[in-house]
Structure 1
């Protein structure tokens, strides 16, 4: 048995590949970037062969650090809710329509009328949304019928890489739940939803547990990727559910919050959430017997990236001059603005919104801008707007008695921001636990799944080998009271602009 575990996290901007030793030591991590194509009108696509080239390049780079024969297994976490059509030979028929794509609004409306929105929520655990696989497949059937006819299977990102390595068309329970063609209580494909959507059951792959050894790296894949021929390939899961394992959320009531390009709070539970307003949803955990009630916002780190490109020329220049991170200077300047940014709010709905508003027409806005506000107030407002949007989501989950803990593990690139993580503690009204590895939780989860799959670990409860808490951010009492009131105004702003934003969409 090998001594190392290789994991790939196929995200929105690139493949984060990590190599861990059996004892949990991070040997090396590399990132191979790829392009996202924003085509307008909600169309967002990626080339699946860019994923494959990234996996090949990052694998070859990591294997320079060890003897490839000492690697025990490879596994994956990946972006969810995509729609990649492949033929029976595994060849992509078109670019993958990824999670951020919202072109299938009309199809989502049609499915809601055919199946019933409340019934759909109870069956799938989700609201009907254009962000998910089944409505995207409906769009392809309607607008690209020849592609639909030729499609043998519909795959998510990590499933395509598993196919390239092993030749098998499969998915796991967590990614299956993200398609919305899934029965969250029955842990199986929902054929009644597929029938209402007018899509064919046989186009969906078989569902296996995340820790299943799907097969071994084949000869052709070994030549292209540099991975050893015969290396066990463990299926893995969706990035958010893998993060549950990578943060230790493997017991009822435990959870974590991730601030990346998008952001979410996710919990491990034994039964789905049944929120009367359908504001939060339920995925399957990568551990099949659990589910994962979740609230997700669209543009968290994406809002920070927008801010960096459009409001932070000074910080970018300093970073280029000094070689230090641009985000160091952005945070320093944001911290010069006082709590609440002097009454300035930022609505971080730059790509529409999922939880809790579920509105593709939602738009970003600065509200309360006056002559006394400066750029640093705007920067602080961006960080606090993300935290308040996540706070709205979190408190809805709490209303539904989802989380049982008194602290929250905070991961993702956003957790590097002192301004943001303090706002998160103040708005969640609980300690934020900051791990020593912020960006590896999803790939770490995939590595643990790999180890479980090949028998290196007897169960999933081995996180203490991989991770430790480096900092605890405590809520400040006067801040919690302040943000409790400001959060109400934040929600009022969204609803006040709801119709305006819908009208503005006509002028895009």
Structure 2
């Protein structure tokens, strides 16, 4: 009997999710469990590796049970994960530390040292960017690894490999021969060549790290093992189910919304925010404002802009001022976000001049300013809760527009339309706000879990259900809704966007660094 289902398991920032799809991209079962996250001090963000593995097992087992399908009909499982995240393991595979989450800012301490090391070797930051495709910032794991080596030299020496959650889950599900990682995501280590996806020994030497301590990289869609009998009992999968190498969450999210052609940008408003454009050739931003990674479906390239908070900034606002909505939602079994965003419907475009700066975890693209902090500006007695909520929705979209502008400055052609995903894509109001701020059509796809679908697409390619990513996208990705920009709103948002940018400039030099020093991060 032909196997008709593919599975995508996502080790995301906030939790582990497994989604089961038909070969036509229809979701038939899913499960999600939140991962405990610790914040030991301002700027530090940690998780326990065992938690991630056990919750992934649990999500897979529960998704299969909820779907009611026969595990024997599952063709393959693939994985996606929060990127720019790592954990050190010793030669026996034992975790030597907590997981360093991408939002963790402790690597900020090492940024001056990184610049010194480059200068001592006759290089500039742009030289590093032109090789690796990544600007210096606290987001990539590179600065965190250098921090780890500085403060825990004995543990660094004991470290056999720095692994990503992708490699961790593949090993946990049965891929025993190696710590498998995907080459299209290798750029996050900031010691790899962005054109070839191969490690650059000279860059590693400059920063005093051993390339042998980094995982081996393979092309997404490669089979790297099968589910073991022990894991089968923990997950509900059939022993022998192929394990297919996936890719990072946002790369999977891009192909999960059909982003494999020029002229289309995908915008993800999840825990992080990402704007992604596809390129058939190697590409760089002239000022190093965007990072460059591989495109997992084609082996080509994608240029990205990254925001460290995005929808998690909106969740912070919900938790801070949305107690009434949370209580009401629990009583009437409603979605708390639906209730929360409903209050914004009465606020006009521009939120009466209230502007939200969404940098709760520092500013990434295009500013790469780990000192930047979040703020509401422009408040008066005329503003109410609905205005605050709308300002937050708009401010997060303004940050996305800043990144989309940077993508075009990097040489990508103008975007004809945008495919959006993440929690914000469930809100019609937020999708209209995005269409107005980006001044282009915004589309959503049928599945809300684009990252899991992208992993499932790679699983389908890995076992030969589809010959390439375009055939897979044509069969598995389906547009659900579309929002066109409203001209008068576009004009309003163009004006507010200029103020948004100028507000950052006004606070950059004196205010943000002073606050950061007071908080003990800088």
TM norm structure 1: 0.96
In structure 2, C-alpha distance between the alignment counterparts of 1:174 and 1:299, rounded to whole Å:
23
In structure 2, C-alpha distance between the alignment counterparts of 1:327 and 1:446, rounded to whole Å:
27
Matches within 5 A, 1:46-57: 46-57=47-58
- 3-state SS, counterpart of residue 382 of structure 2: coil
RMSD over aligned Cα, in angstroms?
Answer: 1.6
> Relative to structure 1, is the Cα distance of residues 315 and 62 closer, same or farther in structure 2, using a 3 angstrom cutoff?
closer
- 1:239 alignment partner in structure 2: 249
Which of 124, 148, 169 does residue 156 from structure 2 map onto? 148
Matches within 5 A, 1:462-477: 462-477=472-487
1:206 and 2:209 correspond? no
CA apart distance, 1:278: 1.9
- 3-state SS, counterpart of residue 405 of structure 2: helix
Matches within 5 A, 1:428-439: 428-438=438-448
Note the residue ranges of structure 2 that are not aligned, 5 or more in a row.
119-123
CA apart distance, 1:62: 2.4
Which of 443, 454, 462 does residue 452 from structure 2 map onto? 443
Which of 77, 94, 106 does residue 91 from structure 1 map onto? 94
1:379 and 2:389 correspond? yes
- 3-state SS, counterpart of residue 39 of structure 1: coil
1:419 and 2:433 correspond? no
CA apart distance, 1:288: 5.7
Matches within 5 A, 1:315-330: 315-330=325-340
- 2:465 alignment partner in structure 1: 456
> Relative to structure 1, is the Cα distance of residues 311 and 476 closer, same or farther in structure 2, using a 3 angstrom cutoff?
same
- 3-state SS, counterpart of residue 106 of structure 2: coil
1:110 and 2:119 correspond? no
Contact 2:264 2:416 in 1 (8 A): no
Which of 168, 171, 194 does residue 163 from structure 1 map onto? 171
1:101 and 2:104 correspond? yes
Cα displacement string for residues 102-126 of structure 1 (whole angstroms, at most 9, x for unaligned residues): 1011323322332321111101111
> Relative to structure 1, is the Cα distance of residues 114 and 482 closer, same or farther in structure 2, using a 3 angstrom cutoff?
same
- 2:38 alignment partner in structure 1: 37
Contact 1:267 1:403 in 2 (8 A): no
Which of 300, 306, 310 does residue 310 from structure 2 map onto? 300
Cα displacement string for residues 74-97 of structure 1 (whole angstroms, at most 9, x for unaligned residues): 101110111211112222111110
In structure 1, C-alpha distance between the alignment counterparts of 2:282 and 2:24, rounded to whole Å:
34
TM norm structure 2: 0.94
In structure 2, C-alpha distance between the alignment counterparts of 1:311 and 1:32, rounded to whole Å:
25
Matches within 5 A, 1:155-234: 155-164=163-172, 165-167=174-176, 168-234=178-244
- 2:517 alignment partner in structure 1: 506
Note the residue ranges of structure 1 that are not aligned, 5 or more in a row.
none
Contact 1:255 1:403 in 2 (8 A): no
In structure 1, C-alpha distance between the alignment counterparts of 2:298 and 2:370, rounded to whole Å:
31
CA apart distance, 1:253: 4.3
Greater displacement, 346-355 / 183-192: 183-192
> Relative to structure 1, is the Cα distance of residues 156 and 403 closer, same or farther in structure 2, using a 3 angstrom cutoff?
farther
Cα displacement string for residues 263-303 of structure 1 (whole angstroms, at most 9, x for unaligned residues): 11101112344323322221122136311101111111111
- 2:77 alignment partner in structure 1: 74
Greater displacement, 353-362 / 415-424: 415-424
- 3-state SS, counterpart of residue 467 of structure 2: coil
In structure 1, C-alpha distance between the alignment counterparts of 2:352 and 2:283, rounded to whole Å:
37
- 2:145 alignment partner in structure 1: 137
CA apart distance, 1:243: 1.4
Matches within 5 A, 1:262-281: 262-281=272-291
CA apart distance, 1:41: 3.2
- 2:121 alignment partner in structure 1: none
In structure 2, C-alpha distance between the alignment counterparts of 1:24 and 1:17, rounded to whole Å:
14
- 3-state SS, counterpart of residue 188 of structure 1: coil
Contact 1:32 1:54 in 2 (8 A): yes
- 3-state SS, counterpart of residue 481 of structure 2: strand
In structure 2, C-alpha distance between the alignment counterparts of 1:110 and 1:311, rounded to whole Å:
40
Greater displacement, 440-449 / 213-222: 213-222
State the aligned residue count.
507
Contact 1:433 1:471 in 2 (8 A): yes
Contact 2:33 2:59 in 1 (8 A): yes
Contact 2:265 2:417 in 1 (8 A): no
- 1:125 alignment partner in structure 2: 133
Contact 2:61 2:234 in 1 (8 A): no
In structure 2, C-alpha distance between the alignment counterparts of 1:221 and 1:320, rounded to whole Å:
35
CA apart distance, 1:315: 2.0
In structure 2, C-alpha distance between the alignment counterparts of 1:231 and 1:444, rounded to whole Å:
18
CA apart distance, 1:403: 4.0
